[in-house]
Amino acid sequence: MSERGLARRNAVTVRHTGVSVEIVVGDVAIARYVFEPDAPAAEAPKPYLHPLRTLSGAPLSVHRPWDHRWHKGLQMTLSEVSGENFWGGPTYTPGAGYVWKENLGRILHTGFDDGVTAADAQDHDEVALAETLDWVASSGERWFAEHRRQRFHGVDVARGLWAFDFDTSLENVSGRRLDLGSPTTLGREAAGYTGLFWRGPRSWTGARVTAAGVPDGDDPMGVESDWLALSSQNDDRDGGATVLAIAGSSSADVPLAWFVRAEPFAAIAPSPAFGREVALEPGRG
């Protein structure tokens, strides 16, 4: 195949629906970013990526599973912010376990920067979505101003690969200090989930977990490691896939640590506050 033919085969197309953006390779929508979600307040509405798919079309995410309706593919959120819950569902409460409270926030899309999302776009080597969002507490107060950038790139149809980069900046606009934590910072062991969170499909239950510097068979929950991977077989379609997650970095002095599960479901989060809170002063990000 010619170089031009290979480029077209690996090209990325964008489809804008008005409430979502689809990233398409060939005839497969590998990702759909829903920026105007239709979700009840109990699920702390926020933008999310679902479905995610391999280049063969096999699913890589799940939406509103029966056990945690607020889990939606891949989403950026925070489970504990000075008592506020942007995660969805009940809040972990020391001495009482998970309790439903009137503390559920929401994350609102406020606009995309100029770019390919303004109209349908064809045959890109990569696509970047740059977006602004407001984090609104249950009181109606605006607590964070966010700017995020999502990049879809590295498509290689012959090898079955594609890559996704996620960068975000949160500025505290609440006028007071905000403490970012997790159920583990509140006392629940091995539950440091917060931040960017991926929930895998049902077929990935029991997936093989590997992490840099972690011996095979050891549990990497809470470990600080450069990368982590889950591998599993697909339902419906032959073969399997691997999700390789790179930890990245945070501007906070608390190191990123992995929240990861293969049972009772597959999930990954490079947690910015797994076991230690992050204090964010007003005007800081």
Give the number of other Cβ atoms within 10 Å of residue 89's Cβ.
Answer: 17
9-41 pLDDT tens trace? 889 999 999 999 999 999 999 999 999 999 999
pLDDT values of the chain reduced to their tens digit, one per residue, 285 residues: 555 554 578 899 999 999 999 999 999 999 999 999 999 999 999 999 999 999 999 999 999 999 999 999 999 999 999 999 999 999 999 999 999 999 999 999 999 987 554 344 566 889 999 999 999 999 999 999 999 999 999 999 999 999 999 999 999 999 999 999 999 999 999 999 999 999 999 999 999 999 999 999 999 999 999 999 999 999 999 999 999 999 999 999 999 999 999 999 999 999 999 999 999 999 877
Please identify which residue in the block is written with the tokens 């989060």: 269
Helix-strand-coil percent breakdown of the chain, rounded to 5?
5, 45, 50
The domain limits of the chain are 3-280
115: left (phi over 0), alpha (psi -120 to 50) or beta: left
Cα pseudo-dihedral 268, 67, 150, 271, rounded to 10: -40
Which pair of tokens denotes residue 273?
A: 């506050």
Contact yes or no for 264/205 (Cβ under 8 A): yes
